[in-house]
A = this chain, B = another copy of it.
Amino acid sequence: MPVTIIDVARKAGVSPSTVSRVISNNPRISKETADKVRRIMKELGYHPNEIAKSLVSKTTRTLGIILPRPADELFQNLFFSEVIRGIVAHASRSGYDLLMAAGTSGQEEVDAIARLVNGRRVDGIILLYSRRDDPLIAYLAERSFPFVLIGRSEQYPQVLSVDNDNVQAAYDATRHLIAQGHERIGFVSGPPNLIVSKDRMEGYVKALADAGLQADPEWIVEGEFLQESGYRAMSYFMNLPKRPTALVAIDDIVAFGVLRGLSELGFRVPRDLSIVGFNNLSLSELATPPLSSIDIGIYQIGYTASQTLIRAVREESGQLQPIIIPHKLVVRESSLPPADA
């Protein structure tokens, strides 16, 4: 029913090949022919069938992104939308679309990726939330399918990746708290199988050590990237006989949970507890009190990931060194000395 290249060719009195060459601006077509063909295309409202194109060109101008397991929970965190925002901004500027596929369970994630990769539906893939032993990375690396990792891989260091220096970032956050005079500093971590959890924990421990302080295992708790985790961590910490006076939270959303819990219990921030988070979500400055946070440049990460991947897809041989997006500490009220101090 829709108009094909053959319809155009017939009406223009040329062969389909010629039309095809007009579309791809092949210089070997005379100007008159090209003009005529172009006119007919307009007239007929012709648009190339991208699927057919893909079949022969083996290319789709589409990037794929796999939504990590509980796609449901994922978006609760602004991190995700922010990184997608960056990806889409660059990709669309480069003429690429973004295909999102979700797997609901672990195995389904691999299935989802197999669908995209083997089904030739995408030219490259962006991987998120790299786990310490990630089957997706292995899958793609083995097939040498173009992909870029947001985060980093331990088993496959020689892989395109965009990341922060999370060790240093956590170091900076902790150091800042120490500089405020805190000596009892807790850490609310994320899922232990995520590399980012491990890295930030490492920076936290290192900062303490460098300051001659000791990381008390009692002051480290693990959770998810969810408010509830922060809430739980808060109630754990505040019930400790010897409470920390400051907290580093692995994510602002977790910090929000802490704040909510504290206010419910009547504690004041930063007087009773100072806190700094990660990601500097757009709402962090609206929290009560405004939340200090490490800005890791999420948008930039997404943007750069798309850039890197598209370069790789085009075989412009990207650098295999991980790309590190700089972070910066944004100090707000939640980690400053209390006004009445």
Contacts and interface: CB of A to CB of B under 8 A. Distances in A.
B287 A118 contact: no
Contact of A100 (B51, B100, B121): B100
Interface in A75-132: 75-76, 78, 80-82, 84-85, 88-89, 91-93, 97-104, 112, 114-116, 118-121
A176 to B, nearest CB: 23
Copies in the complex: 2
A201 interface: no
A227 to B, nearest CB: 7
Interface centre among A51, A55, A80, A115 (most CB of B within 10 A): A51
Instruction: Give the secondary structure class of A's interface.
Output: helix
Contacts of A81: 75, 78, 80-81, 84
A23 interface: no
A282 interface: yes
A50 B120 contact: yes
A47 interface: yes
A100 B98 contact: yes
Nearest to A60: B51
B51 A121 contact: yes
A88 B62 contact: no
Interface residues of A, number: 55
A34 to B, nearest CB: 21
Interface string A51-78: 1111100001010000100011011101
Given A76-B282, A114-B47, A92 B120 contact: no
A26 interface: no
A49 B52 CA distance: 12
A259 interface: yes
B80 A49 contact: no
Contact of A101 (B97, B120, B260): B97
A286 B287 contact: yes
A76 B82 CA distance: 7
Given A119-B48, A119-B51, A259-B286, A72 B99 contact: no
A237 interface: no
Given A71-B85, A74-B85, A98-B99, 17 more contacts: A47-B115, A49-B119, A51-B60, A52-B55, A62-B99, A67-B88, A67-B92, A71-B92, A75-B81, A81-B81, A88-B100, A92-B102, A92-B103, A97-B115, A98-B100, A99-B100, A100-B100
